[in-house]
Structures are given as structure tokens and as C-alpha cells.
Homo-oligomer: A and B are copies of this chain.
Amino acid sequence: MSEADFQYIIDTFFTLFSMVLIIFMVPGFAMLEAGLVRTKNVTSVLTINVMIYAVASMAFLLVGYTLAFGSWENSSMSIWAAFMFQMAFVGKTVNIMSGGVSERVKIIPLMFFTIIMGAIIYPSVVNISWGADFLNGTILDINMYDLAGSTVIHSTGGWALLAAIMIIGARKGRYKDGKIRVIPASNVPLVVLGALLLWIGWFGFNGGSVGSISSVENANLVAKTIMNTNTAGLSGAIIAGFIMYVRYKLFDITMILNGALGGLVAVTAGPDLYDVYTPILIGLIGGSLVVFAVPLFDKLKLDDPVGALSVHLVNGIWGTLAVGIFVDSVSILDQLKGIGVVALFAFTSSYIVLFIINKIIPFRAEDDVQVEGLDVNEVGVEAYPEFKRAI
């Protein structure tokens, strides 16, 4: 057997393995968000998660992949494995956005946005960052290092979310008389399960993004990438727990998990380039950013029930900058330009698309629907019909 054949086989297998880990993020996001929202909105959130996976993936299969990569060709592994790996990413950008507008977003307009995001917006970001690059030679051509998508995935989703929150507004009753009403998570075990499934999915996300495990060098690179990914999650969780304890003498588990996720987002741009200690620092900063950003967005009345802006947008930016800061061969200006161009494109295009859809079919559930709950009105199925409500 030729070395090329060996590598083709091993990298196909490895990419399928990585893809499967990423698919665990589908139940991961679904459980995380179902646990964070109120019981009356749980089946709505679950339906949105399942439908995003179905619709965004189908849009990417029919249109998006070709837009991103120009052609269905690959000589280093099976094109079908390469496709599945890329497809596993697409729904995540919409998940990030949909989670942050939970408890007041309607399913139908969200599905139209999902089609556009999966077919055009996200594939365009991939095109200019990792793909065919239609900005090549223009003044906007970017040269950012972003291994697994701190910017391409997480910031893109975050910018779409920011646009969505601006258009859709806060949940009814969330900000009233200058006060912020605390709305607690309804099912914390699901939150923990979801966050840990996301954590595991990240090994596939970042490890698989190395693209090959079939040489000694790449095997080392993949293993170090996975190790560094994990390390930033560890330190993100630790610092969030530490800050919460120092401030409140309480270990708020939802903040600890968001700290871990913040660390994971932050390390995603360059886990292959760091030594094994730098991710500790990146995660410490990432986890801290989450803890401080969550109340800040609330002050700005940007209502985000799952903390997605803090986890994905803030840390997507921080993580992309971090590669420029900690890695000599990567220019911080290139990173800034990449962040800026993607921000401009993702925010503007999302805003325009959301604005147009919103004119035709409003995203925002009516006040009485929000009070009664979206589950009864949008899904027709309650999440826990046999359990008596305390509130």
C-alpha cells in the first residue's frame, strides 16, 4: 500500500471520528438550552435545536458547501468525510444565535434565517477564511490564523445573535422599571449534561480541524491541540468558580460552565500553536471575561438567556487576538483585520436578512404568547405535562 493511500484511509477515519464528536454538540446545545429556559419554553427550544440541525445541514449540502469551497474535490481524504466534518459546523453558528434569543423567538422566521445562514452567510465567512477565498487580491483579503473557528464559527454566530437581539428585543418583563428580573434555569442537570457534551464535541472540533493525523508530526499536533483545548476549558471553569466564590461565597454552576465554555471558545483559534501552559492563561482570561461580560450585556439591556454573547462573541474575539499575542509567527494586525472583516460581514448581512424577514414574518412572539409560553403556542407539546409547577 502506498503512503498516500495509508494517509487517505487514516485521515478519512480520523475525520469521521472527529465529525461524530461534533455531532454530540447537537444534543449538547439542545440540553444546555432546554435546561436554561423556563419550563414553558422548553419544547420550543428543543424543536428549534433539532430543526436547525436539519435545515442548516440540508442548506449546506444543497448550496453552502459549494459556495464555501468552490468544488467537491479532495485528494487527501474521502470528500464525503470532508463534507460531513464541515457540515457538522454549520448548525453551530445558528445554535449560538438561536440560544441567545430563546423564550421569545418564533420558529417559522427563524427557519428562514437558518436557510440563509446555512446556504450563504456562514459559507461566505468560510470562503474568505478557510475556503475558495473570493476576496483574494482585494483590499479586504484576510490572512487571519483561526484553526477551528474562534472567529469563523463563534464570533460569526455571536454577531448574528447581536443583530437578532437588536431586532427582536428582550423577553417581556426582563427589564422593568430599571431593574433586571432574574430568571433562573429550570433544569440544571440538563445544563450540565449539555455543557459537558459540548466540551467533548470540542475535542473533535479542534482536533479534527488539524485536518490530518496520518504523519508523526500531525499525530503530535492533533494530540497537543486536543490537550490544549481541554486545558483552556479547565482553567476557564476554575477561574469562574473562583471569582463567583470571592464575590458571592457561592459556586454558581451555570457561571462555572459558561466560564469553561468561554475558555474553550478562546483557545479554538490556535490550540495547535501554543505550548501546553499558554492555554491555562487563555482560559483564565476567557473565563473571567464571561463572568464580567454577562452583567455588562444585561446593563446594555441585551437580553441573552444563555450567555451566548459573553461565551461566543467576546471570547471569539479574545481567542483570535490571543494567537497574535502569544504566537510570534502570527501578526496581531492580521488577526485584527480578520476579526474586523468577519464582524463587518457577519453583522451586516445578518442584520439585513433578519430585518427583511422580520418585516414579512415577525420574529418576536406576542406578549401573551410569551406569558403563556411558546411551547403551547408553537409546538403544541408541553415539556413536563405531569409535573406541577411551583411558579
Contact = CB atoms under 8 A, between A and B. Distances in A.
Nearest to A81: B223
B238 A23 contact: no
A235 B57 CA distance: 10
Nearest to A377: B250
Contacts of A384: 186-188, 387
Nearest to A233: B54
B38 A386 contact: yes
B187 A381 contact: no
Contacts of A203: 16, 20, 23
Contact of A387 (B55, B237, B388): B388
B16 A13 contact: no
A224 interface: yes
19 contacts: A12-B213, A13-B14, A42-B188, A46-B192, A47-B241, A47-B251, A47-B256, A50-B257, A54-B237, A54-B260, A77-B219, A78-B223, A78-B224, A84-B223, A185-B381, A187-B383, A386-B390, A387-B388, A388-B388
A175 interface: no
Interface in A359-381: 378-381
Contact of A84 (B19, B39, B227): B227
A255 to B, nearest CB: 9
Interface stretch (A27-35, A144-152, A340-348): A27-35
Contacts of A54: 233-235, 237-238, 241, 260
A39 B386 CA distance: 7
A38 B385 CA distance: 9
Contact of A388 (B87, B254, B276, B390): B390
Contacts of A186: 384-387
Nearest to A4: B216
A16 B252 contact: no
A9 interface: yes
Contacts of A216: 5, 8-9
A63 interface: no
A58 interface: yes
**For A21, A49, A185, A248, which residue has the most chain B Cβ atoms within 10 angstroms?**
A185
Interface stretch (A157-165, A193-201, A303-311): A193-201
Contact of A380 (B16, B35, B224, B248): B248
A291 to B, nearest CB: 14
Given A23-B199, A23-B203, A80-B227, 13 more contacts: A26-B199, A30-B192, A46-B188, A47-B253, A50-B196, A51-B241, A54-B260, A58-B235, A83-B227, A187-B384, A188-B381, A251-B380, A388-B389
Interface in A257-283: 257, 260, 276, 280
A61 B43 CA distance: 41
A295 interface: no
Interface in A184-236: 184-190, 192-193, 196-197, 199-200, 203, 207, 213-216, 219-220, 222-224, 226-227, 230-231, 233-235
Contact of A13 (B8, B10, B58): B10
A251 B107 contact: yes
A234 to B, nearest CB: 5
Contacts of A46: 188-189, 192, 253
Given A12-B223, A20-B200, A57-B230, A379 B251 contact: yes
Nearest to A197: B27
A222 B12 contact: yes
A161 B231 CA distance: 27
